[in-house]
Structure 1
Amino acid sequence: MSEILDEGPFFHGTKADLRVGDILTAGFRSNYRPEVVMNHIYFSALLAGAGLAAELAAGDGEPRVYEVEPTGDFENDPNVTDKKFPGNPTRSYRSTEPLRVVREVLDWPRLTPEGLQDWRDRIAALRAEGTDEIIN
């Protein structure tokens, strides 16, 4: 396991409508690549990172950010750690163990419509190049 840089709080962005105490688990289709079933559940110590994940998640629901707590071991997200960025500047993590919802965060930083479109364009460009493996 990699060195963990944070002790929390941790956040998870999604379009799912969750409640305090709900458990998030791996084993579902990726929000970004629906052909992939995820072996991990992903989260961040950065509120803005979870917000971005919520904004980009698949589905028609409202983007939501939740404070979560890992119920077991977790590691630095290797999709962005060292593979793409030295260290873990995105403070992104993953776990095969569930996350428990602590609360919904209502005051997270939202992207402008232009900023959101810029991210969608970047992801589309990565997919076109075949280098979208950093998108979970």
Structure 2
Amino acid sequence: MRSAHAAMSFDADPRRVEAARRVTAAVLGRAGVRDRDVIGTVQLLVSEIVTNAIVHGNANSVSFQVTCDPAGDVTIEVDDHSSGAPEMREAGPDDEGGRGMQLVTYLARDWGRKGTCTWCTFTAGSG
């Protein structure tokens, strides 16, 4: 496995989530990750954290970066430039949203908030 990294900033627009997912797949590919399930899971984590930043952040822009190290550890960082922290919601069975951070908690090895940046880690393994 090789190191790979990408960073970008974009308007807080829900249409930008797909671009972050594509960048993530490219980074994982450059790092040597070939497992489609791993790539899909990391893309889901990106979708949830970026969407959360866009929908609930108070800024006009979002900064995003994804890094994969030689051990296969993936770090996702999303800075929404706002002081609020993500909240775990108890979504009802008929709610269409509100499960994003529950998914992150379940799928990520760890996650948290540092300053205005929400981050999570995932172990992609050796490829």
* TM-score > 0.5, shorter chain as reference: no
Structure number with the higher strand fraction is: 2
Structure number with the higher helix fraction is: 2
Q: Which has the higher contact order (CA 8 A, sep 6+)?
A: 1
